[in-house]
Structure 1
Amino acid sequence: MTTPPVPTLAPVFDVRVTLEAPLEFGATSAGGRRIIPITGGEITGALEAEILPGGADWQRVRADGSLEIDGRYTARTREGELVYLSVRGLRTGPAEVLAALGHGEDVDPGNYYFRTSVTFEASTPRLAWLQDALFIASCIREARAVRYTAYRVS
């Protein structure tokens, strides 16, 4: 019997997304809700692009303080090509660590779990490779930014 290939990870690019202060909705019919506006940032590596202002991270806050991440934003390459990014994932950890992150404190990323999947939409043939692979990211939360390294799953 043939077995499927074991996936491997290769780092492809680094991302830094700058953020405004969260808009705290509190408990809604869908659970806790907060929205964090995106003000800019950059992508470096195999993809070089500027993150444009106007996107956001629509987060759902679980009862234990963990966050379900749903980020959507746009980037523009140096060549002027637009790229749409959709980032979905989870940030969780001990209650005191999540509270410190929520207050904008620097926390060792080894003390919490923050992982996402990243998908892309682009209309140019040069960027088709972004739509033909799966990417996962290991993320760090800073006071006014999120940084992550995206890995291609092969």
Structure 2
Amino acid sequence: MTETLPVPALVPSLQVRVELADLEDHGRTAAGHRRVVPIVGGTVTGDFTGAILPGGADWQLVRDDGTIEIDSRYSARSDDGAFLYIRAIGLRTGPGDVLAALGRGEEVDPRSYYFRTTVWLESSAHPELANQLFVAACARHRNEVVYTAYRVS
């Protein structure tokens, strides 16, 4: 018996702009080259609309080849007071010269490097968000990260 399985599609769900403070370079730790980038604000629009709250961060581990393992955790609050917890886990990698330019804060075409995350959402006001999978294509700018999170249907 052959089953016909559904083919997942990507449905745009959230547009996110995360404002960043200066990078904190922790140097080489037991886990590797550790960096932390504090999150100080931003916006979310789409299936949830609100402001990103200060206090989150992007905990990064830089591999020897320059690839950055991303682990971001932060919160947003909608105009009606509902909270959204966001966790984005992924990778940013590319040619050495492109990664170096990003590290210097230069504007780089996001098509010239790979920056993808899985996005996990939690909200008591929107419990359906925790029961869906999201992936994102991201771009790094001098003081912000922007991305579109796509719901996997």
Q: What range describes the TM-score normalised by the shorter chain of this pair?
A: over 0.9
Does residue 1:112 correspond to 2:113, yes or no? yes
Match of 1:11? 12
Match of 1:23? 24
Inter-partner Cα distance in structure 1 for 2:9 and 2:98: 30
Does residue 1:103 correspond to 2:89, yes or no? no
How many residues were matched structurally? 152
Moved over 6 A (4+): none
Unaligned 5+ segments in structure 2 are: none
% identical equivalent positions: 55
Q: Secondary structure at the match of 1:96?
A: helix
Measured after TM superposition, the shift of residue 49 of structure 1 is 1.0
Task: Give the counterpart letter for 1:101 in structure 2.
Answer: L
Match of 1:147? 146
- TM-score scaled by length of structure 1: 0.96
- TM-score scaled by length of structure 2: 0.97
Say what the alpha-carbon RMSD is for the aligned residues: 0.7
Match of 1:138? 137
Unaligned 5+ segments in structure 1 are: none
Measured after TM superposition, the shift of residue 13 of structure 1 is 1.5
Task: Give the counterpart letter for 1:77 in structure 2.
Answer: S
